[in-house]
Amino acid sequence: MKSAVSSVKTHSWTLTFSDFKEITKARLALSVVFSSVAGYFLGADQVEWTSVLMLAVGGYCMVGASNAFNQVIEKDLDALMSRTRNRPVPSGRMAPSTALTIAVIMTLLGIGILYFLNPKTAMFGAIAIFLYTSVYTPLKTITPLSVFVGAIPGAIPFMLGWVAATNDFGIEPGTLFMIQFFWQFPHFWALAWMLDEDYKKAGFKMLPTGEKDKGTAVQIIMYTVWMIVISVIPVFGITGLLQLSVTGAIIILLMGLIMLVFALRLFEKRNNATARKLMLASVTYISLMQLVYVADKFITQIWI
């Protein structure tokens, strides 16, 4: 009897933890934390692991809060889409009030933790939550320009790490912001291409032309090119303390060109399989690019 009760409790906790991961979009949140920590390593003269931990926890709370707010606001629309109808709120496993409580608590925790790092970090984190929930989310059913608004909070994490390390905003974090800002368009439009039919069930207008056509593919190519250009600009020594060696720039350029090849293939074939390959290439690019930047900094310091 005790074993049966214990089994039920274990199952209940497992389901609760699973729902928490889903309401906060744990995988996405962890990728954002990765970007923030990479930005911190780039900005820090000396790594303080307590600060790294605070940035990681605070960053997760901020992203988790944004996603929880989003799922409360869009619960009825999520119920219309195959991809999202089984989420905790639209499926009925979690009450909207519970999800809202999680969102509020995580917002307060996130802002509080980031404030202890420095006020500027908390400010940018709060801006990200506001733009994502109060501007990007409602615009999704109105205009494809919502993607441009959504790219702003999406680009903050890489920059946020630098600000957390330095308590300063200048050309260096601005450059990191622009790299991730331009990256989001090919990444998200490739995803939106794959999910276009599902998005249309909920009335979301995500593709720039509204259709999976050459116009959308051309814009994906254009933003990929801009992403490549911005990613290697630090090699020219015009971005303050944010620098990149020639070797690092060549590696990042080659990775960017590979991603561009996938974008060109999407223009040629215009199918979901090719869009998926571009989306996966973009995820690989952003992670490896950030690793190259961090490794390049510390390897250069050793040589100097």
pLDDT band at 7 (very low <50, low <70, confident <90, very high): very low
Check residue 300 and give its pLDDT. Answer: 78
Check residue 12 and give its pLDDT. Answer: 60
Average pLDDT over the chain, rounded to whole?
91
Is residue 146's pLDDT more than 60? yes
Check residue 2 and give its pLDDT. Answer: 52
Check residue 18 and give its pLDDT. Answer: 84
Angle, CA 37 vertex, CA 32 and CA 42 arms, to 5°: 125
For 203, counting Cβ atoms within 10 Å of its Cβ (0-12 exposed, 13-18 middle, 19+ buried), the class is exposed
CB proximity list for 114: less than 8 A, separation 6 or greater = 54, 55, 58, 59, 62, 121, 122, 125, 164
- For the chain, the structural domain boundaries read 13-168, 170-304
Task: Please write the tens of the pLDDT for every residue from 156-181.
Answer: 999 999 999 999 899 999 999 999 99
Check residue 20 and give its pLDDT. Answer: 84
* Residue among 2, 198, 157 nearest 64 (CA): 157
pLDDT band at 302 (very low <50, low <70, confident <90, very high): confident
- In angstroms, the CA 74 to CA 198 distance is 14
Check residue 304 and give its pLDDT. Answer: 56
Check residue 84 and give its pLDDT. Answer: 87
Check residue 231 and give its pLDDT. Answer: 97
Rounded average pLDDT over 49-57: 95
pLDDT band at 149 (very low <50, low <70, confident <90, very high): very high
- In angstroms, the CA 161 to CA 251 distance is 23
Contact 261, 290 (CB under 8 A): no
Considering only the top CATH level, what class is 13-168? Answer: mainly alpha
Please tell me the pTM assigned to this model. 0.90
- In angstroms, the CA 245 to CA 235 distance is 6
